[in-house]
Structure 1
Amino acid sequence: MIRLGIIGAGAVAHFHAESAGRISNVELAAVCDLQREAADKVASPWGARVYTDYTVMFREAGLDAVIINTPHGLHLEMVLTAAAQGLHVLVEKPMATTVVDCDRMIEACGNAGVSLVIGQIQHFLPEKLAVEEVLATGELGRVLMIRDYRTTDYRPGTRPDWFFSEAMAGGGALMNIGGHCLDRSIWFGDATVQSLTASTLKRFGVPVETDGTISLTLRNGVHVSVVVVSDAAQRMDEVLIVCERGTVSCSPNHGTQVRSDGKTRTVWVPKPEDIQEGFFRQLSDFVNALDGGSPKVSVEHARHIVEVVLASYEAAASGNEVVLASPADRKILSHTR
């Protein structure tokens, strides 16, 4: 039996808790949050213990693994502490707020012999898995171009205050929402990012970016356009993949459609339980990693997303294209550092 703890009883904690309840060899043993009442709401349906200090939870709860569901700037310290306690870790995206912190997390968990998995939920949502299946058949040929558009809301008061702190969140709409877009677009494009340009906006009097665009070229030549807009007239969350012989459109609201030779077919119809199903599959993947399997999303992929977001901030500030080091170059640089 895997005794699981959760740090952070925020927006998606109940999805994690429900998922744990569906897996026979997982027990939700403890939930920690600075607000005891919030922790209790997540813990009580499952008889889990409640803590307000995660270090105490690590000492007392007899855990095997922990889910870190906290503000981004806290991930590093919590992962390092968990690794030192011999706990396996599933940490919500973004992995960290700097690439250096990502590397420290990878090194610490590697040295401790514990699993580190990043919660890139896009890889487990049913409508995105339907896209993966279509692309894998090869019926549409090569992916040529991807457009990813998502709306959000970064007006004051629409989300917890820490989202508006660059130090705690690592950025604004692009780090938070744009990270999802980059995750799935790089996944569907099947290559890392070679170069990019970007622009950002700060509206509503907040200190982080509220809107942004990123134009990316992947190493296989696929072009990706990511657009994130706050407080738009219509809520949108769509990724459109343009291939040699057709297109795939994917949205949690409208499902997944394939268009080819003038005809459209639906390959996934949205269901109310899709989000919960995604979290269940994600936790199942984590449990499989603890049993010696390979996680669906590598830490290198999660690290790359952080790298790309930070490069987009650099490009937006300078007005210039940013070229990223290739994975091979990074290994050389790391070896000679």
Structure 2
Amino acid sequence: MTIVAGIVGAGRIARVHAEVLYDHEAIALEAICDVHTQRARALATAAEAESYTDYRTLFREGGLDAVYIATPPGIHLDIVRAAAHNGIAIFCEKPLARTVANGQAIREVIEDQDVPFMMGFPSRFAEPCRRMREFLADGDIGDPITVFSTRAGHGEPEEEDWRLDPEQACGVSIESASHNIDMLRWLGGEIESVSGRTANATHPEIESFDDNMLATVTFEQGAIGLLQNSWTSRVEYLRHGVIGTEGAVLVEGDEWWRLDRLTYATETDDYPRTIAFDAETATGMGYSGETDAFIESLSADRSPPVTVYDGLRAVEISHAISGS
């Protein structure tokens, strides 16, 4: 079974997905759509696909089975509505939406139209993170006591970036920290309460923008958690981990988008042990792994593993942090 796919958006993350889809044996990447004509044509040429500037035309005429939405989150709702109306399966980049109301509206569309929908959280599919979760699932470190996810780097948006458009801006707490929030929920279960702070050190003139955030959470099963994200740090790092009743496991990297090692210790270990990964391969596996999971779910006619609810919860928790 070959899935005919298209991408709406032709920016950085769209290029990442285009490379994965182009190389996938079960996918025919047929179309790239972006309101910027030259950008759409450039990516379409590289992917040997057709270019469009209007996603509505693409959905009516492109013969798509699935679409990857890789646009700013403020316009996700309209694109989701159009795709769902045409019966097209949807893969949506994070964050799901800029506001909770729009996130809830997207969920309603998906449920009402009953179309397959998968949220893009690639960290779940990166090998270091999957290995870390196996320690939890196998009971090697006992029950979680503390779960944490932290990320920092120098990622201030460029002047023409949509992240600095007052009508589109949502800042690090929604745009980037959605990864951290989803990781906490994936490792620790549902989050019951949250308390946090955000800071805007670089663009105070944009009310909806922030570039640093820090929060503590409590999980329904009783564990506590920490999440932190920064776009202004000159020192880069990425860390996810769990401290359990019978051990601990940590995955980390010295670049804010890449993981290259897992360290663990259980009650039977005399000292911590470390497993090394190739950072580029591990990061790439996140994107290829989520597409594999999406396509497999479509082929098997089952629900994708990362749901619209997962995307909505990330948006809800982000807003709870900024409003606490």
In 2, Cα distance between equivalents of 1:228 and 1:26:
34
CA deviation digits over 1:184-207, x for unaligned, max 9?
011111x21111111111112342
CA deviation digits over 1:83-135, x for unaligned, max 9?
11111111101111223322322222333231111111111112111111222
Aligned counterpart, 1:201:
199
Aligned counterpart, 1:254:
260
Conservation of the 8 A alpha-carbon contact between 1:154 and 1:173: no
CA deviation digits over 1:211-249, x for unaligned, max 9?
111111111111111122232231011112111122111
Q: 1:211 to 1:153 in 2, by over 3 A?
A: same
Of 290, 313, 317 in structure 2, the residue corresponding to residue 282 of structure 1 is 290
Q: 1:154 to 1:14 in 2, by over 3 A?
A: closer
Taking the TM superposition and a 5 Å limit, the aligned residue runs for 1:129-148 are 129-148=130-149
Moved more, 37-46 or 222-231: 37-46
TM-score when normalising by structure 2 = 0.90
In 2, Cα distance between equivalents of 1:245 and 1:297:
29
In 2, Cα distance between equivalents of 1:132 and 1:268:
16
* Partner amino acid, structure 2, of 1:297: V
Aligned counterpart, 2:123:
122
Q: 1:103 to 1:187 in 2, by over 3 A?
A: same
Taking the TM superposition and a 5 Å limit, the aligned residue runs for 1:27-38 are 27-38=28-39
Does residue 91 in structure 1 map to residue 92 in structure 2?
yes
Aligned counterpart, 2:111:
110
* Partner amino acid, structure 1, of 2:162: W
In 2, Cα distance between equivalents of 1:268 and 1:156:
31
Aligned counterpart, 1:10:
11
Q: What's the secondary structure of 2:278's corresponding residue?
A: coil
Deviation at 1:35, TM superposition (A): 2.3
In 2, Cα distance between equivalents of 1:86 and 1:156:
35
Conservation of the 8 A alpha-carbon contact between 1:130 and 1:268: no
Deviation at 1:173, TM superposition (A): 0.9
In 1, Cα distance between equivalents of 2:106 and 2:259:
35
Q: What's the secondary structure of 1:138's corresponding residue?
A: coil
Taking the TM superposition and a 5 Å limit, the aligned residue runs for 1:143-292 are 143-153=144-154, 155=156, 157=158, 160-165=160-165, 167-169=167-169, 171-189=170-188, 191-206=189-204, 207=206, 208-251=209-252, 252-260=258-266, 261-291=269-299, 292=301
Conservation of the 8 A alpha-carbon contact between 1:156 and 1:204: no
Deviation at 1:24, TM superposition (A): 2.5
Conservation of the 8 A alpha-carbon contact between 1:99 and 1:306: yes
In 2, Cα distance between equivalents of 1:80 and 1:263:
53
Does residue 299 in structure 1 map to residue 308 in structure 2?
yes
Structure 1, unpaired ranges of 5+: 316-337
Moved more, 64-73 or 13-22: 13-22
Q: What's the secondary structure of 1:301's corresponding residue?
A: helix
Moved more, 43-52 or 84-93: 43-52
Would you say how many aligned residue pairs link Structure 1 and Structure 2? Answer: 312
* Partner amino acid, structure 2, of 1:143: P
* Partner amino acid, structure 1, of 2:19: E
Percent identity, aligned pairs only?
A: 27
Does residue 79 in structure 1 map to residue 77 in structure 2?
no
Aligned counterpart, 1:310:
319
In 1, Cα distance between equivalents of 2:319 and 2:251:
26
Moved more, 17-26 or 171-180: 17-26
* Partner amino acid, structure 1, of 2:3: I
Conservation of the 8 A alpha-carbon contact between 2:154 and 2:234: no
In 1, Cα distance between equivalents of 2:94 and 2:146:
25
Moved more, 30-39 or 81-90: 30-39
TM-score when normalising by structure 1 = 0.87
In 1, Cα distance between equivalents of 2:261 and 2:166:
34
CA RMSD of aligned residues (A): 1.9
Q: What's the secondary structure of 1:236's corresponding residue?
A: strand
Conservation of the 8 A alpha-carbon contact between 1:144 and 1:243: yes
Conservation of the 8 A alpha-carbon contact between 2:157 and 2:163: no
Deviation at 1:156, TM superposition (A): 5.5
Deviation at 1:306, TM superposition (A): 0.9
In 2, Cα distance between equivalents of 1:249 and 1:151:
16
Deviation at 1:262, TM superposition (A): 4.5
Deviation at 1:152, TM superposition (A): 3.4
In 1, Cα distance between equivalents of 2:114 and 2:234:
48
